[in-house]
Structures are given as structure tokens and as C-alpha cells.
Structure 1
Amino acid sequence: MHSRLIRSVAATAVLLGAAACSSSGSGSDPLAGSSASGGSGRTVVVGSANFPENVLLASIYSQALQAKGVKVQEKFNIGSREVLYGQLQNGSLTVLPEYNGALLGYLDAKNTASGTTAVNAALQAKLPASLGILDSAAAEDKDSLTVSQENAAKYNLKSIADLSAQASGFTVGGPPEFKSRREQQFKDAYGLTFKEWKPTGDATADSLKSNAVQVGNVFTTDPKILLLKLVTLTDPKNVFSSQNVTPLVNKAGLDATATGALNAVSAKLDTAGLTALMKRVSVDKEDPSAVAKDWLKTNGLS
């Protein structure tokens, strides 16, 4: 399962792509039967986990809601999914930026759903009646197979499937556990047998640029994809589960105005855009709130 489990160690995600699933709604109205009035007096509490990308997304949500006249309280940098999920259930939080595949893994570790639509349908079946998901963004923070721009051009690589003619001569870089988790999956889905699997950890992106490895496991919103001009390969067989940015909400805390504001954010947010925002936050050290404000203005949501 994807390692973007909302976690308590912020540094892991500081340096988190063209890969993106099409935006998909939750499949039903998550606020059906709700009489909440987020825009007419009730305060919507927007929370976040304690890593930079989630804080940025929560700030985007918060400011988008405020732009529609919704009263908002921000509770950022709270902690791990275990803590956050409980606070959503008891109503202490109203909205949280989630990653649909990782959330499904938390609720049902054995579920094998992979595409955005299938993952969201499975989530709907697993969430308690008090909680719901809104529309998923195309933006995903997920595992990927990524290559250098030079190798992408040289070997005409756009999809993982395109590696079939080159895999036997390519070395793959990633975390130490990457081979045990993924080797058989790549064989089964794409018929790939790589020359070597090398543990490169946090140096994977740099190893791709230097050609020490030819293929690497890089998160799709890692700013180094932009800095080093790397190319994320698409994954048509869905070896990597969908990890679309998706608002998880306490249904009783939102009205149609608030729901519309959050869905409008999802409609505009894609992986390449989120990666560019994360470069500003984690590399350029800009304030997440200011970066969020700029993005909302650029996209006509402020």
C-alpha cells in the first residue's frame, strides 16, 4: 500500500508529476440529509496532518471556504491519521485533506481497489454514516516510476509499459523495501524484469539525474521532479493505487456553499500544479498560506 499514510514525522514529507487520474466525485451526495449551514453561522473547522503538503492543502481549503463567506477555524499540524480520523468522527474537525488510497488502506488494509472511481466507491462503503468524501482532485501524491528527461527522450518513455524493451538493462532505485513490495507486481502487470534493484532512499531523484539508476521510485509531488526535470511514467495498469487528494468531511458540519467551494478546489488541482506549489513551500521556503492564496487567485477561487 502507498506509504502516504498521514504520518507524524514531518521531515519525511518535506521533499516530496505529470501522472494523474481524472477527477472523480464521491459517487453520491455526502451531505444528503444534512441541515448544516456552513455559510450562515456555523464554523467549519479545517484540520491538517503535520507535514507541509497537508498544511498547504488545508490552507487552500480554508481560504476557498472563507472566499465564499464560510466561517472557518484552522487547526493545522495536528498529527497522524489515527488522531485526525477520530477528531473528524467526534466533530472536532469538519474538513481534512486526505489521500483516497491511503485512507482506504487505513480503513480496510486488504482492499485491492486501485483506480480513483473504484477506490472512492470502496471508501463510501467503509466510512461511517457521519463521514463522507467530496470530489477527488486529479492531483495525486503517490508512488511512481520516474526517469530522467534524457532517458525518457532517448528511449521514448511515457508509460511504465514502455519500459518493456529496456527493463533488462535498467537499474531501479528506491527505498530498501521497494523490491520486495513491487518486483512481482511489475512482472505480473507489465512483464518487466529489471537488471538490478538498488536501495537509493532519499537520493533516488539525484541518482536518476546522474544515471546511477535509470528508473526510480519518486513521489509524484516531489519538487525534485521539477528541479531535476524528471519524467513520471504513467501507470495504466494501476500497480500504484490511486492517491487523489480528497476532502474527508464530517457531514453535519457543511452546507451546499461549503461543499461547492471544496469541490471547486478539487476541479482545479492537478499533480503538476501541486508539485509546483510544493516547490515553493519546501524548496523556496515560502509561507503555505501565501502560496495557497496565490493559487486560489490564479484559479479564480478567491
Structure 2
Amino acid sequence: MKRIATAVAAVMLLSACGGDPLSNGGSGQSSSDTIVVGSANFPESRLIAEIYAEALSAKGVKVTKKLNIGNRELYYKGVQDGSIDLIPEYSGVLLKHIKKDAVEVAPDEVYEALKKALPAGLIVLDKSSAEDKDAVVVTKATVAQYSLKSIEDLVPYCKDLVFGGPPEFQQRPDGLPGLKEKYKCEFKEFKALDVGGPLTVAALKDNSVQAADLFTTDVAITANEFVVLEDPKSVFAAQNVLPLINEKKASENVRSVLNAISKKLDTKTLLELNAKLSSPDKPEADKVAKEWLASAGI
């Protein structure tokens, strides 16, 4: 517990001292002939952003990067004001961010609704079949204790359990509010941790939280024999990986490159790439990106 609290404090201190991650050196929008590629603050997002950036650069597109910006509530503002031109996104959570009352859950339905919901000037290109969803995750011990298979099985015990996840999970429609609305599940306490990172994993392992929000492609789930609870009422809609881009920067060349990536990227590949990122030698995301692009023939 003390270790987790200390790590959280350190993250907050770094954020406070690091300045504005969206700062563009005093200018507002990016240069008209350059694409600024951004990412959220977790490894998979950084990796996909590197894949986009490396592939575009190889095709002669001028690229700069603003990686590890933060959560969607922060980086989406950058996409809207033009300080970021391109960022990897997940269809369902982006739709819910823009349209909180969205009810679509199937991949194609979510994708079509998202295209309609986006504000003028922003578009999404082809979605990949790669999917990474938020999920309610528990340990094998918790599964055995409460005979759990789905979130629905958890409901009678929610009031006695502590839930952990990123701070924004408390407000997002597909976070605690969604669990309350669809399952009537209200936890005894919420612990603000990180975005599918070491704090959340550590808290599950030492039982300081009994359930947590992790991504389904997180290698920590398999490594620690965690269990993803089924979501029969679809709090978590389809989450296909796709590029969100400033329409003015989406030239035919750019569209062709990014759509080629989406065509090749599937969930199995995403799991393999995440495993490489977390391997003992801890390779840089750009190195993993370049290797995959070469193997995929892009």
C-alpha cells in the first residue's frame, strides 16, 4: 500500500513539473506540411503511434511526435485545437467520449456511429480488426472465493470490494457509471492507480484492490493468471484500433499508409507486440514498430 501511494505521488509530481505536454512552442496548430503524431500515456498507444509515424516517414511524409501525452480527456483537446494531427484511438471509448449516450456495441455499428459523431475537421480512417477493451479483472483467488465468471456474478459482492483503475474511470460512461447503470454494481471504494500499468497490477497481486480495470491485450493478465470477467451487458463496447486524424492532413498518401496498417493489424499481432515491449530486454517502441512494419511488408 505504501509503495503504491509513493508511486502515485511521484507520478503526480512529474506531471506537475513537466509542463504542458501539448505545448507547441508557443504556436497553435502544427505546420501545414508536417503531421504531428501523438499518443496516450500507456505502452500500446505509444507503440501504435510509433508504427504510424515510422510508416508515414518511410513514405516521405514529414512527421514530428508528441508521445505519452496523458489520458483522452487531455489529448483529445490537442486533436481539436490542431496541436496534434494524428493519434491511435479505440472506437468504442472514443465514441463514448464524444457522445456519452451512445448505445452501439458491435464493431461495425460503433464505427459508423463514431464517423457520424466526430466534429467537423476530424475523421477516423479504416478500423483494424485489432481490439483492446477495458475489462474488469480479478485474481484467480477472487474467482474461487466468489464463484465468478462474469461481472453479473460480482454484483452481490461489489459493496464489499475495492476497485482500482485510472482516475478517469470514475467519471467515464464506460467506467464506474456504466457498471452502476447496467449492473447496479457500486464498489465499497475506488483507488486511483494508473492506466493498465504496474500500480494496478501490484494492487491486484497484493489484494489492496480486489477488482481492477485492465486492457484485454495487457500481457500482465496472462503472466499473473488474472481473470477477465465476462461483460454480458456490454458496458465495454467494441474497441477497434483506428487512426483519428485532422482531415486537412489526411492526403491520399497518408490515408493509403494508415489504412494499410489497419488492414494488417489484428488482436493476435497486438498481443505479440505488447509482449515484445514488455520482454526482459525492454526494447524501445520505435524499434518494435520498425521490425513489425518490415515483417508486415508496409
Instruction: Give me the TM-score of the superposition, normalised by structure 2.
Output: 0.64
Superimposed CA distance per residue, residues 27-48 of structure 1 (whole angstroms, 9 cap, x where no aligned partner): xxxxxxxxxxxxxxx9551411
Aligned 8 A contact 1:47 1:58 in 2: yes
Distance 1:102 1:150 in 2: 30
C-alpha distance in 1 between matches for 2:50 and 2:68: 14
Match of 1:56 among 44, 47, 51: 47
Asked if 1:226 is matched to 2:215, the reply is no
Question: Counterparts of 2:297 and 2:94 in 1: how far apart (Å)?
Answer: 27
1:251 corresponds in structure 2 to: 247
Measured at CA, do residues 235 and 11 of structure 1 come closer, stay the same or move farther in structure 2, by a change above 3 Å?
A: farther
The reply to whether residue 174 of structure 1 matches residue 163 of structure 2 is yes
1:259 partner SS? helix
User: Structure 1 residues 167 and 130 mapped into 2: Cα distance closer, same or farther (>3 Å)?
Assistant: closer
State yes or no: 1:291 paired with 2:288: yes
Name the CA distance, whole Å, in 1 between partners of 2:212 and 2:81.
41
CA contact (8 A) 1:145 1:232 kept: yes
Distance verdict in 2 for CA 1:95–1:10, change over 3 Å: farther
Distance 1:62 1:215, change over 3 A: same
Provide the C-alpha distance between the structure 2 equivalents of 1:78 and 1:88, rounded to a whole number of angstroms. Answer: 14
Kept after mapping to 2: 8 A contact 1:139/1:245: yes
Contact 2:155 2:183 in 1 (8 A): no
Q: What's the offset of the Cα at 1:269?
A: 2.8
| Other-structure match for 2:129 | 138
Give the alignment of 1:16-165 within 5 angstroms. 43=33, 45-49=35-39, 51-53=41-43, 54-67=45-58, 69-77=59-67, 79=69, 81=72, 84-85=75-76, 87-89=78-80, 93-148=84-139, 160=150, 164=153
- Equivalent residue in structure 1 for 2:261, among 248, 262, 265: 265
Tell me if structure 2 keeps the 8 A contact 1:10–1:52: no
Return the structure number with greater relative CO, CA threshold 8 A, min gap 6. Answer: 1
Q: Secondary structure at the match of 1:79?
A: coil
Alignment match, 2:22: none
Partner of 2:134: helix, strand, or coil? Answer: coil
Amino acid at match of 2:49: A
1:150 Cα shift? 8.0
* Contact 1:47–1:76, Cα closer than 8 Å, also in 2: yes
DSSP-derived class of the 1:247 partner: strand
How far the C-alpha of 1:57 sits from its partner, in A, is 1.3
> Unaligned stretches of 5+ in structure 2?
1-8, 13-31, 194-198
Taking structure 1 as the reference length, what is the TM-score of the superposition? 0.63
Task: Output the CA distance in 1 between the equivalents of 2:211 and 2:75.
Answer: 35
Please, what is the CA RMSD of the aligned residues?
4.3
User: What amino acid sits opposite 2:129 in the alignment?
Assistant: A
Matched, 1:217 2:213: yes
Report deviation, 1:286. Answer: 1.9
* 1:49-94 residue CA offsets vs partner (Å, 9 max, x unmatched): 3524322211111222344x24231222273556654554565544
Q: Output the CA distance in 2 between the equivalents of 1:79 and 1:140.
A: 22
Aligned residues: 255
2: CA distance between counterparts of 1:136 and 1:82?
A: 22
**What letter matches 1:97 in structure 2?**
P
* Counterparts of residues 179-194 of structure 1 (less than 5 Å): 181=177, 183-185=179-181, 187=183
The letter for the 2-side match of 1:287 is E
Please give the alpha-carbon distance, in whole angstroms, between the structure 2 residues aligned to 1:87 and 1:183. 29
Q: What fraction of aligned residue pairs are identical, expressed as a percent?
A: 32
For structure 1, the residue ranges without an aligned partner over 5 or more in a row are 1-8, 13-41
Q: Deviations over 1:190-244 (max 9, x none)?
A: xxx89x8665665654565678877543232433113213343443431123333
Structure 1 counterpart of 2:117, one-letter code: K
